[in-house]
Structure 1
Amino acid sequence: MDFEDNELYRDITGFAHDTPTWVQHAAEAWTEGGLLLFGALFVAAWWRARRGSATAFAIAVLAPVATAVAYVCSELLKSGFTEERPCRAVAGAVPSLAECPPTGDWSFPSNHATIAGAAAVALALVRRTIIWLTAPLALLMAFSRVFVGVHYPHDVAAGLLLGAVVAAVAMRLGRRPVTRLAGAMRASSAPLVRWVTGPGAATAPTAPWTAHRGR
Structure 2
Amino acid sequence: MTTAATTRLAFDGSGIDGSLFTSLTDFARDTKWLNTPMEVWTNLGLGVFAVLMVMGWWSARRRDSRTMTVALAAPVAVVTAFAAAEVVKKVVAEARPCRSMPHAYLVDSCPAPSDYAFPSGHTTVAAATVAALFLLDRRLSAIAAVFGAVEGFSRVYVGDHYPHDVLGSVILALPVAYLTSVALRRWATPLVDALNRGALRPLLTAEPRTVAQPAR
Q: Indicate whether 1:64 and 2:84 are aligned.
A: no
Pairwise CA RMSD = 1.7
1:70-100 deviation digits (Å, cap 9, x = unpaired): 0000111111111110011115312x10111
Letter in 1 for 2:173: G
Match of 1:176 in 2: 186
Shift of 1:132: 2.8
> How many residues align structurally?
197
Give SS of 1:103's match.
coil
Match of 1:105 in 2: 115
Match of 2:28 in 1: 16
Partners of 1:82 and 1:184 in 2: CA distance:
44
Query: Which has more radius of gyration?
Result: 2
| Conserved? CA contact 1:186–1:199, under 8 Å | no
Match of 2:18 in 1: 6
Match of 1:84 in 2: 95
1:122-168 deviation digits (Å, cap 9, x = unpaired): 11221012333111111110110000001011001000121111111
Partners of 1:200 and 1:35 in 2: CA distance:
31
| Conserved? CA contact 1:51–1:201, under 8 Å | no
Equivalent residues in 2 for 1:1-215 (5 A)?
1=13, 3=15, 5-21=17-33, 23-94=34-105, 96-188=106-198, 190=199, 193-199=200-206
Partners of 1:127 and 1:91 in 2: CA distance:
43
Give SS of 1:126's match.
coil
Give SS of 1:30's match.
helix
Shift of 1:43: 1.0
Give the TM-score normalised by structure 1. 0.86
| Conserved? CA contact 1:54–1:200, under 8 Å | no
Letter in 2 for 1:105: D
| Conserved? CA contact 2:14–2:100, under 8 Å | no
Structure 1 residue ranges without an equivalent (≥5): 203-215
Shift of 1:120: 1.1
Letter in 2 for 1:37: V
1:4-52 deviation digits (Å, cap 9, x = unpaired): 511111111111011042x111111111122101001111111221221
Structure 2 residue ranges without an equivalent (≥5): 1-12, 210-216
Identity %: 36
Shift of 1:200: 5.0
Give the TM-score normalised by structure 2. 0.86
Letter in 1 for 2:136: V
Dislocated runs of 4+, deviation >4 Å: 199-202
